[in-house]
Amino acid sequence: MARYIDIHPDNPQERLLQQVVDLLRDDALIAYPTDSGYALGSRVGNREGRDRILRIRGLDERHHFTLVCKDFSQLGQLVHVDNAAFRAVRAATPGPYTFILPATPEVPKRLLHPKKRTVGVRIPDHTVVQALLDLLGEPLLSSTLILPGETEPRTMGWEIKEELDHVVDMVLEAGETPAEPTTVVDLSDGSSVVLRVGAGDPSRFE
């Protein structure tokens, strides 16, 4: 059964966040709220975490995983950002955007798109996630919690606990969560292509 941890959305308790961090460091897979619905998350170094996410979401190897970062400096260690991409990402973060960019050698090959060698990155505007990333000290391997046959991310922690009780290790609850996924923008080839319109305003990239 999955652990269920209820954290204050504005003043997250460090002792509870530490419990989440300890689980992640023990290679747990968690469901956690973001500024664009719930997501599945694990440590980047958790080899099984990637495969579990693919199974839960019913995705194949071509899925673009996202590395959820605390800030721009952490993001810059994971992807190559030219001047145009730098300006675009800097202006839109933190916020509900995912950017597809060429990965640096810091990112394990098993997390990259098999042909493009790209990966998604994002900096969420969410108090609990920011506090969690700060305590963890590394990015989270992540994917929006959209189940097979559905088009919107899950938004209620207790519903996720009921439905995914035996396939995730922990559900983090932190109040109301928006129902829109991130807007996904591909910046990998020098231009900007909006791949998915979501919570973030896509007009700045069109």
Q: How far is CA 118 from CA 91, 110, 127, 193, 197, in A?
A: 21, 11, 28, 14, 20
CATH code of the domain containing 60 = 3.90.870.10
Name the residue with tokens 């396939």.
167
Q: Given this model, what pLDDT does residue 4 score?
A: 97
Q: How far is CA 186 from CA 14, 39, 73, 183, in A?
A: 35, 20, 20, 10
Segments of the chain scoring below 70 in pLDDT: none
Angle at which helix 14-25 crosses helix 127-136, to 10 degrees, equals 60
Q: Which tokens is 101 given?
A: 């960019």
Q: Given this model, what pLDDT does residue 5 score?
A: 96
- Total domain count for the chain? 1
The string of pLDDT tens digits covering residues 15-40 is 999 999 999 999 999 999 999 999 99
Taking a C-beta distance cutoff of 8 angstroms, is the pair 7, 16 a contact? yes
Q: Given this model, what pLDDT does residue 60 score?
A: 83
User: How many beta carbons lie within 10 A of that of residue 91, not counting itself?
Assistant: 10
CA separation for the pair 61, 170 (Å, rounded): 24
The string of pLDDT tens digits covering residues 60-84 is 878 889 999 999 999 999 999 999 8
The whole model's pTM is what? Answer: 0.94
Residues, the chain: 206
Name the residue with tokens 């973001």.
34
Q: Given this model, what pLDDT does residue 53 score?
A: 96
Taking a C-beta distance cutoff of 8 angstroms, is the pair 182, 144 a contact? yes
Which structural domain range is residue 37 located in? 3-205
Closest CA relative to residue 60, chosen from 48, 69, 70, 51: 51
